[in-house]
Amino acid sequence: MSSTTLPLHYVQQAASSKFGTKAPLLVMVHGYGSHENDLFGLKDYLSPDAHYVSVRAPLNLGFGGFAWYPINFDNLGKKESDTIQAAESRDLLMRFIKEYKAANNLENNPVWLLGFSQGAILSYSLALNYPEQFKCVMPLSGYILKEIVPTTFKEGALRNISFFISHGQEDDVIPIAAPRQGLAVLEQLKINHIYREYPQGHGIGPENLQDLKTWFFKELEKI
């Protein structure tokens, strides 16, 4: 769906839910070079008792691909993220979520995040910057980009968030060391989380998907 009023393009599916205002709104955030339809198919493996909205990044890369922020390489070939644009996209996503909730009468529904790769990086950042706005966060094949998350937190601000984190041990796009460093941050902050590694590359394999689904339904049971 193309929106003329909301700040980002998106696709959506409403909940067939008995949960009413307790039904979660799951916001899907795709990775670099992808688009809003990429993660949207995951809804068919998860529960119909959630609202789903998958958002398209604002930076058009051409050939049907989009990004939340540019990725550049220095003279030595080291990858560098445009952290200024990343922070702007983070705040744009937060604005979208608030306006989408208001436009669809979902102001009282809890918000869950699911992001892959660059989308996982932004999901971490959204949750850590605005912890009171989110309940469940699923960063898949991503990491914590320290330049776009706070350095301090209010006491107790993070106690109501749950994370499901997964990564491929053979990931050659985002090496496994990156999410492991982020795991140490979550443990230090005493954030409720599950962390899983799989013998896979930069993607979501069958075992990963099954564990995500199991965790997802357990969180729904808490409603």
Q: At 74, is the pLDDT very low, low, confident or very high (cuts 50, 70, 90)?
A: low
Q: Under the phi-then-psi rule, with left for phi > 0, alpha for psi from -120 to 50, and beta for the rest, what region is 180?
A: alpha
Listed by start position, the domains of the chain span 10-221
The three-class DSSP label of residue 1 is coil
Top pLDDT among 183 and 28 is at 28
User: What gap in Å lies between CA 29 and CA 27, rounded to an integer?
Assistant: 7
Residue pair 100/120 in contact (Cβ under 8 Å)? The answer is no
Q: Which two tokens stand for residue 135?
A: 């309940």
Provide CB contacts within 8 A for 35, sequence distance 6+: 56, 57, 64, 65, 66
Q: Which residues of 171-204 are buried (b: 16+ CB within 10 A; e: fewer)?
A: beebeeebbeebbeebeeeebebeeebbebebeb
Size of the chain, expressed as the number of residues it contains = 223
The CA–CA distances, whole Å, from 60 to 21, 91, 126, 151 equal 35, 18, 22, 31
Contact 29, 53 (CB under 8 A): no
Q: How confident is the model at residue 1 (pLDDT cuts 50, 70, 90)?
A: very low
Q: Which of 118, 108, 90, 116 is nearest to 51 (CA)?
A: 108
Q: What is the CATH number of domain 10-221?
A: 3.40.50.1820
What does the alpha-carbon distance between residue 108 and residue 21 come to, in Å, rounded to a whole number?
6
**3-class DSSP state for residue 108?**
coil
Reduce the DSSP state of residue 51 to 3 states and report it: strand
Query: Does the pTM of the predicted model rise above 0.75?
Result: yes
CA distance 43 to 20: 18
Spell out the alpha helix ranges (H) of the chain: 83-103, 118-129, 177-189, 206-221
Q: What is the rounded (10 degree) CA torsion for 6, 24, 116, 210?
A: -150
Tell me the pLDDT band of 43, cut-offs 50, 70 and 90. Answer: very high
- Weakest mean pLDDT among 47-56, 64-73, 192-201: 64-73
Give the pLDDT score at 77: 61
In this prediction, residues 165-171 reach a mean pLDDT of 97
Q: How far apart are CA 167 and CA 144, in angstroms?
A: 13
